[in-house]
Amino acid sequence: MSAIGLEVMGIRADPDLEKSMRVGLAAVEEMLRGSVRSEFSFVTEASRHLVDAGGKRFRPMVVLLAAQFADPDAVGVVPAAVAIELTHLSTLYHDDVMDEAPLRRGAASANARWTNTVAILTGDFLFARASEITADLGPEATRILARTIATLCEGQIRETVGVGPGQDPIEHYLRVITEKTASLIATSARLGAMLAGADPVTTDVLAAFGERFGVAFQLSDDLIDVASPSEDSGKTPGTDLREGIPTLPVLYALQGEDAAARRLRDLLGVNPRTEAGVTESGVVEALELLREHPAMDRARAELIRWSSEARECLAPLPDGSAKTALESLADFVIDRTS
């Protein structure tokens, strides 16, 4: 990974850290490609589909950065980063089936190229590979990743079931993204620190940072999905609206009683007198309304709050290039929404 690659994620790195990260990410990439091989060539092809499509390898970066607080060259660090990325990739295969997504990272999704069954089983295959790798890292690493996968699934189920009677939609949504997104980022930091030999306090601090940063990262994606005219989030703007996922800016806007809020309720099918679902023209109009609505500023304030909490988590850690890099990540999720 070049310095430019690190800068894509807003990571400020001195030459020594940059070199360490570049070497580490190259090792992750090599092991990742080896881990998806199978004796059955079709399984290899399907498993490499998203690996070859690229991606920022953001979660492995978090593993490697957390390892900087102890021994970044410890033997378990790179395998942990690979297991984390395999887990992330497996969820993408499953997500595309549930969302009926035709594209992923600019290429045909696995379910579109083959079938839903192939995509689901490929995701399961990657989960298994991740478990196999962590089994070699010891029972604690295996237990942590297994619990994280369970949390990911709970978050997806919670999102699918929706808000229950008497539940606050905002609290429900924050719980969903904490489970679906932030839990794996927290585990990335925890495993990186733990397997590098960091003490328990440092490991817990980094995991707490990862969770709060993970929520902020998802909230920034929420804002970009509405505000950006390009595909900064890797998705076409309005993707969440099309999929019927009410992200934070939408939830805030729907709480209002202004004309825009009432129109949004009609467009998004949340009024009793309208049918569920949203047309393409409805998505376009909804995006226009949301971009001018105070809900965007309110959602950005919530993003800043989570990012600030993530930064505050780092206070007990010693100053140095690794801490600066993590702080720059917390700044990045805010800056990318400007």
Report whether pLDDT(158) > 90: yes
- CA 103-105-107 angle, to 5 degrees, is 50
Name the pLDDT band for 103 (thresholds 50, 70, 90): low
Long-range Cβ contacts of 73-78 (<8 Å, 24+ apart) = 74/195, 74/196, 74/197, 76/137, 76/138, 76/141, 76/195, 76/196, 77/24, 77/192, 77/195, 77/196, 78/24, 78/27, 78/28, 78/31
Tell me the pLDDT tens digit for each residue of 111-155. Answer: 777 788 888 888 899 999 999 999 999 999 999 999 999 999 999
| Secondary structure letter of residue 235 according to DSSP | S
Place of tokens 């990739």: 89
Residue 131 burial (C-beta neighbours within 10 Å; 0-12, 13-18, 19+): middle
What gap in Å lies between CA 331 and CA 311, rounded to an integer?
Answer: 9
How many domains are there within the chain? 1
| pLDDT at residue 244, as a whole number | 82
Q: Comparing 106 with 94, which gets the higher pLDDT?
A: 94
Residue 333 burial (C-beta neighbours within 10 Å; 0-12, 13-18, 19+): buried
- CA 169-171-173 angle, to 5 degrees, is 65
Report whether pLDDT(2) > 60: no
| pLDDT at residue 210, as a whole number | 98
Facing residues of 103 across strands?
Answer: 108
Report whether pLDDT(256) > 70: yes
Tell me the pLDDT tens digit for each residue of 72-85. Answer: 999 999 999 999 99
Quick one: average pLDDT of 309-326? 96
Q: Which residues contact 286 (CB under 8 A, 6 or more apart)?
A: 238, 241, 264, 267, 268, 278
Name the pLDDT band for 109 (thresholds 50, 70, 90): confident
Q: Comparing 338 with 66, which gets the higher pLDDT?
A: 66
| pLDDT at residue 231, as a whole number | 47
Name the pLDDT band for 237 (thresholds 50, 70, 90): confident
Q: Which residues contact 231 (CB under 8 A, 6 or more apart)?
A: 237
| pLDDT at residue 192, as a whole number | 98
108 φ, ψ (degrees, to nearest 5): -60, 135
- What domain range includes position 71? 3-335
Q: 294-303 as b/e, with b when 16 or more CB fall inside 10 Å? A: ebbebbbebb
Residue 229 CB coordination number (10 Å): 8
| pLDDT at residue 48, as a whole number | 85
Report whether pLDDT(162) > 50: yes
Name the pLDDT band for 52 (thresholds 50, 70, 90): confident
Tell me the pLDDT tens digit for each residue of 214-228. Answer: 999 999 999 999 987
Contact criterion met (CB below 8 Å) for 148 and 179: no
Report whether pLDDT(98) > 70: yes
Quick one: average pLDDT of 4-10? 60
| pLDDT at residue 239, as a whole number | 81
Transcribe 255-298 into DSSP letters: T--SHHHHHHHHHTT-STTS-S---HHHHHHHHHHHHTSHHHHH
Transcribe 26-56 into DSSP letters: HHHHHHHHHHT--SSHHHHHHHHHHHHT---
pTM above threshold 0.85: yes
Q: What sign does the CA torsion over 151, 157, 162, 166 have?
A: negative
**Average pLDDT value for the chain:** 89
Q: Comparing 164 with 200, which gets the higher pLDDT?
A: 200
- What is the radius of gyration, based on Cα positions, of the chain? 20
Indicate which CATH number applies to the domain containing 69. Answer: 1.10.600.10
| pLDDT at residue 235, as a whole number | 58
What gap in Å lies between CA 306 and CA 227, rounded to an integer?
Answer: 20
| pLDDT at residue 120, as a whole number | 87
| pLDDT at residue 56, as a whole number | 82
| pLDDT at residue 119, as a whole number | 83
